Structure 1
Amino acid sequence: MSSSDLATEHPETQLEHDSTLVLDKAVSLTLSSDSLLIVEAKTKTTHAISLYNVLDAEINPSSLVITYAQHSSKDDVSVTALHYPVGEKEKPAIEAWMNKLLDLAYGTAQRRKRLKVLINPFGGKGNAPSLYQRYAAPIFAAARCQVDVQSTEYRGHAIEIAEQLDIDAYDAIVCCSGDGLPYEVFNGLGKRPNGREALAKVAVALLPCGSGNGLTWNCQGTGSNSIAALCIVKGLRTPLDLVSVTQQNTRTLSFLSQSFGIVAECDLGTDHIRWMGAQRFTYGFLVRLLQRTIWPCDLAIKVEMDDKQAIKEHYAAFRAKEEEDGPLAEQARLDAAKQSPVLPELQFGTVQDELPQDWEVVPGDTMGNFYAGNMAIMSKDTNFFPASLPNDGLMDIVTIDGTVSRGTSLKMMTEIETGGFFDMPDVKIRKAIAYRLVPHQKEGYISIDGERVPFEAFQCEIHQGLGTVLAKSRHAYEADGPR
């Protein structure tokens, strides 16, 4: 339905029970709990627009303009506007209705966000600049976000940008990349003298331009640039657990996962075939499955929960929580971070300290796969950690023995997509707050958020709600939980 179909030359406006606006007795606009319903009297046609898709509304000198994101295809939205002529006398009533429309359209999400957009022109297939300009920029502009765009010029550049950022000037840093830039941004914010305050204040978001795009799949549930941009516009500030990783004298922050064994090999050993996109992980898995499948190590875990049924119950209870206080709880978190602005101290020390006595020592001589997840989805269709939650203060650790048959390993791979992986008897799952892993061999791969780190002993511990993301839900990822 075009705007000309709905416009009338001599509008007469009235407001009925404050949710319906009638224009010239020809068009009515009604607000429901989740939709804007447009009814044209002459043709008796009805058109519904999801309130989630409404970007902005304004009264200019002669008309009411409603801007929204319309689905141009299943996986894309584009900016569309409706125009209705108005007269001076009608403007107060229309303005009251328009304000209610925007209140319902945004809920507790912040409007007109101030965004620092970082574009990695080299990552993935190298098309991030064009993807941003074509799909995301129009959405941000229509929602009247303030946007400051900068391209990263070299590896680690985003760390420097985040470390030097004026955190009072921006609400979020939006990365046009794969998961590499968010990793750098979290670490850049964390390196500041007021790292905890910066991580609480500035949200991190991702426009999917890489191979895995885990941050987007978990927080927005999409691999589409335009839909992700809409989700950022409507995104809720959500606390995110972050993991401290120590190796020798270094401490870095992880937001997504840490892996050792076949998953790390599939991720980091396939950099030369990034042109394949997400399929490179599958290819890497199959190639390595036919070769060596054991990566021996010493492993110790500070386990909080290791019974699958108990983990399922924990997940269900956490996901069912109310949106506790929303902005009030968020303000309390910001106030606490401002009062104690430095990064939290390491409760369990570093990998160089003596191993705590109450940690569970896990036999690792025949380790096939060690995978610790802070998010559920690692890349499209790989819901590897279905019981993972954004801010429960626990990481999910999967261990699989390297002596399982190739047939079982292949079945595991297919069961990730179907949802049966969690319950497979050969898949050991623990919820934990810390662990230490020491490789036995001298060469191999360790992956932190998809980034290669030295192949040596490392220790991890989780910090509840240390980081901030923009997400559709404050309590769960956009992924199916365990069955």
Structure 2
Amino acid sequence: MGAAEPLRSVLWVKRQRCAVSLDPARALLRWWRSPGPGAGAPGADACSLPISEIITVEETDTHGKRSSSGKWQKMEKPFAFTVHCVKRARRHRWKWAQVTFCCAEEPLCHLWLHALQELLGKLTSRPKHLLVFINPFGGKGQGKRIYERKVAPLFTLASITTEIVVTERANQAKESLYEINIDKYDGIVCVGGDGMFSEVLHGLIGRTQQNAGVDQNQPRAALVPSPLRIGIIPAGSTDCVCFSTVGTNDAETSALHIIVGDSLPMDVSSVHHNSTLLRYSVSLLGYGFYGDIIKDSEKKRWMGLIRYDFSGLKTFLSHHCYEGTVSFLPARHTVGSPRDRKPCRAGCFVCRQSKQQLEEEQKKSLYGLANTEEVEEWKVVCGKFLAINATNMSCACPRSPRGLSPAAHLGDGSSDLILIRKCSRFNFLRFLVRHTNQYDQFDFAFVEVYRVRKFQFLSKQPEDEEGGLRERGKTRFGPMCSDTPPCCGTASNSSWNCDGEVLSSSSIEVRVHCQLVRLFARGIEEGPKEEPDS
């Protein structure tokens, strides 16, 4: 059979006579019940399997009699091959499935094996050698166990070789990526939570800029995308990045996305203060409410995961607002808006358009044309804010299935800037509750949302005065109000929550870098496909 020639045979699947077809041009394997003579036409119960979702194909030993009708009742040992593949389950989960095809003749069996293996060999996007970082302490401390039980067997099945590093301290993964030869790997996998992913992200971006001679401390520097993809095996407490890019926090699902070689470009925001890089952000950059929560929870690590609930309640009751100025450059190149109720999904049109926009900008830069960004007008908003949030993605998680900004896009070169002005506790509670339901959380007079390419925040309270104010507060109020002035008042400065890490500087400059990194992911699919039993 030639490489592009379709193949059709009558085989047996689960003791049922089936017509099986392979279309190389469409890279599609199909089978359907065919009890009568000949192959017959596919019916509504036909099963379709893209070649891209086949993990591997192997010859199978079959023993014992088949109780099927016809000549198969007399067949002592039919020849067979098994297709290991992806099967969709509920709530965006993927499962490892196997389908065994039996045939009467050995040459026919080998013909199918060769045809399928030849097509699999042409899938060049699949990784063959991966570097795996495992955080054994994150979340509930199950990272190593999750990898060994749910991920490693699938990697072995897919013939993926790995080098495993079980981290023993913070920033070990980041530092390792600066030192080792990363060119021999097809990707980096992190097993842990959002903190572990952030370590790998910073190490990979930093190493790429180092190799390219780019100064990361320059806010206007054009960062170079990394050629390596990052895979996330969720084993943390929230796993926001994984949930927002795959649609579920399931280790098997994430492992299968890595195996089939999915690729999802993602924006990254750089956060600077006084021409110094503070951190990179891919999910939430939050000042005020979310900044106070993360700073307070850092002091209560002994409480475990419940510390986030405790600090959240404490911060809500404190109800502090912060005065400052937000300046931003609107993202006029993007399609859509934060309130259009069109979430980012697999094969997203908005993200594809952004990629084209990025290529146009690169061409302009290459030929020395003026950057249109320079002539656009910055917008300025002043006031007292309960919270300032910037999201590069929806920030969805099991507690908030739609996230902080349901229509935020992963790769459109923009961030959704959400400003929550001073309001009553009751109204702020209404706003927070809407993160857990289907109502528009931006439909309040005290909430503003903008899609931006850059923004800056300048606190009204000088940062050098903040330390003295906080020290006096600690002496006077005791543990419950130690970090903030009296309740319901305007506080001095908050902290920025950058993907779960505290930034000490309140005045920052943020720029979105379009599709700077790629994940082993596909994006959230529109709806789980119900597959017939096979």
Shared fold (TM-score, shorter chain, > 0.5)? yes
Q: Using the alignment, how far apart are the partners of 1:21 and 1:302 within structure 2? A: 62
Query: Which residue in the other structure is 1:395 paired with?
Result: 415
Find out whether 1:56 has 2:83 as its counterpart: no
The structure 2 residue matched to 1:30, chosen from 20, 27, 33, is 20
**Structure 2 contact 127–187 (Cα < 8 Å) conserved:** no
Decide whether aligned partners of structure 1 residues 212 and 90 sit closer, same or farther in structure 2, where only a CA change above 3 A counts: same
**Structure 1 contact 217–478 (Cα < 8 Å) conserved:** no
The structure 1 residue matched to 2:314, chosen from 287, 307, 328, is 287
**Structure 2 contact 229–518 (Cα < 8 Å) conserved:** yes
Q: Using the alignment, how far apart are the partners of 1:121 and 1:347 within structure 2? A: 47
Q: CA deviation at 1:273?
A: 5.4
For 1:330-349, list aligned pairs within 5 A: none
Query: Which residue in the other structure is 2:522 paired with?
Result: 472
Q: CA deviation at 1:230?
A: 1.6
**Structure 1 contact 434–461 (Cα < 8 Å) conserved:** yes
Q: Which moved more, 1:33-42 or 1:251-260?
A: 33-42
Q: Deviations over 1:398-449 (max 9, x none)?
A: 11013x1222222212211223244412321101111112332626421111
Q: CA deviation at 1:463?
A: 1.3
Q: What secondary structure does 2:321 align onto? A: coil
The structure 2 residue matched to 1:415, chosen from 414, 434, 450, is 434
**Structure 1 contact 173–205 (Cα < 8 Å) conserved:** yes
For 1:15-94, list aligned pairs within 5 A: 18=7, 22-23=11-12, 27-28=17-18, 30=20, 37=31, 39=33, 51=50, 54-59=54-59, 63-68=80-85, 79=96, 81-84=98-101, 87-94=105-112
Q: What secondary structure does 1:130 align onto? A: helix
Q: Which moved more, 1:93-102 or 1:302-311?
A: 302-311
Q: What secondary structure does 2:200 align onto? A: helix
**Structure 1 contact 117–175 (Cα < 8 Å) conserved:** yes
Q: Using the alignment, how far apart are the partners of 1:347 and 1:317 within structure 2? A: 26
Find out whether 1:266 has 2:281 as its counterpart: no
Q: Using the alignment, how far apart are the partners of 1:418 and 1:405 within structure 2? A: 21
Find out whether 1:451 has 2:501 as its counterpart: yes
Q: Deviations over 1:378-408 (max 9, x none)?
A: 5334311122112211111111013x12222
Q: What secondary structure does 2:331 align onto? A: strand
Count of matched residue positions in the alignment of Structure 1 and Structure 2: 435
Query: Which residue in the other structure is 1:253 paired with?
Result: 280
**Structure 2 contact 55–84 (Cα < 8 Å) conserved:** yes
Q: Using the alignment, how far apart are the partners of 2:335 and 2:17 within structure 1? A: 55
Q: Deviations over 1:134-161 (max 9, x none)?
A: 1122222222222221112211111112
Q: Using the alignment, how far apart are the partners of 1:445 and 1:316 within structure 2? A: 29
Q: CA deviation at 1:85?
A: 5.9
Q: CA deviation at 1:376?
A: 0.9
Q: CA deviation at 1:258?
A: 1.1
Q: CA deviation at 1:80?
A: 5.0
Q: CA deviation at 1:100?
A: 7.9
Decide whether aligned partners of structure 1 residues 19 and 96 sit closer, same or farther in structure 2, where only a CA change above 3 A counts: farther
For 1:184-223, list aligned pairs within 5 A: 184-192=199-207, 193-194=210-211, 199-223=225-249
Q: Using the alignment, how far apart are the partners of 1:323 and 1:303 within structure 2? A: 17
Q: Using the alignment, how far apart are the partners of 1:421 and 1:48 within structure 2? A: 39
Query: Which residue in the other structure is 1:158 paired with?
Result: 173
Q: What secondary structure does 2:144 align onto? A: helix
Decide whether aligned partners of structure 1 residues 205 and 309 sit closer, same or farther in structure 2, where only a CA change above 3 A counts: closer
Query: One-letter code of the match for 2:427?
Result: T
Q: What secondary structure does 1:384 align onto? A: coil
Q: Using the alignment, how far apart are the partners of 1:359 and 1:322 within structure 2? A: 23
Decide whether aligned partners of structure 1 residues 96 and 19 sit closer, same or farther in structure 2, where only a CA change above 3 A counts: farther
Q: Deviations over 1:238-285 (max 9, x none)?
A: 2221111112352132222211110122234224358764x7545433
Query: One-letter code of the match for 1:428?
Result: E
Decide whether aligned partners of structure 1 residues 323 and 423 sit closer, same or farther in structure 2, where only a CA change above 3 A counts: closer
Q: CA deviation at 1:212?
A: 2.1
Q: CA deviation at 1:48?
A: 5.2
Find out whether 1:117 has 2:132 as its counterpart: yes
The structure 1 residue matched to 2:149, chosen from 106, 122, 134, is 134
The TM-score normalised by the length of structure 1 is 0.75
Q: CA deviation at 1:120?
A: 0.9
Decide whether aligned partners of structure 1 residues 378 and 89 sit closer, same or farther in structure 2, where only a CA change above 3 A counts: closer
For 1:217-256, list aligned pairs within 5 A: 217-251=243-277, 252-256=279-283
Q: Deviations over 1:71-120 (max 9, x none)?
A: 899897665544556654224531355248759xxx97823443211101
Q: Using the alignment, how far apart are the partners of 1:76 and 1:149 within structure 2? A: 25
Structure 1 unaligned residues grouped into runs of 5+: 1-15, 341-345, 350-355
The TM-score normalised by the length of structure 2 is 0.69
Give the alignment's Cα RMSD to 1 decimal: 4.4
Decide whether aligned partners of structure 1 residues 367 and 421 sit closer, same or farther in structure 2, where only a CA change above 3 A counts: same
Q: CA deviation at 1:472?
A: 1.2
Q: What secondary structure does 2:416 align onto? A: strand
Q: Which moved more, 1:232-241 or 1:214-223?
A: 232-241
Find out whether 1:302 has 2:319 as its counterpart: no
Q: Using the alignment, how far apart are the partners of 2:526 and 2:176 within structure 1? A: 31
Q: Using the alignment, how far apart are the partners of 2:448 and 2:12 within structure 1? A: 62
Query: One-letter code of the match for 2:498?
Result: I
What percentage of aligned pairs have identical amino acids? 20
Q: What secondary structure does 1:269 align onto? A: helix
Structure 2 unaligned residues grouped into runs of 5+: 37-44, 62-78, 215-222, 467-492, 528-534
Q: Using the alignment, how far apart are the partners of 2:344 and 2:245 within structure 1? A: 19
Larger Rg: 2
Q: Using the alignment, how far apart are the partners of 1:194 and 1:303 within structure 2? A: 32
Find out whether 1:321 has 2:338 as its counterpart: no
Decide whether aligned partners of structure 1 residues 227 and 199 sit closer, same or farther in structure 2, where only a CA change above 3 A counts: same
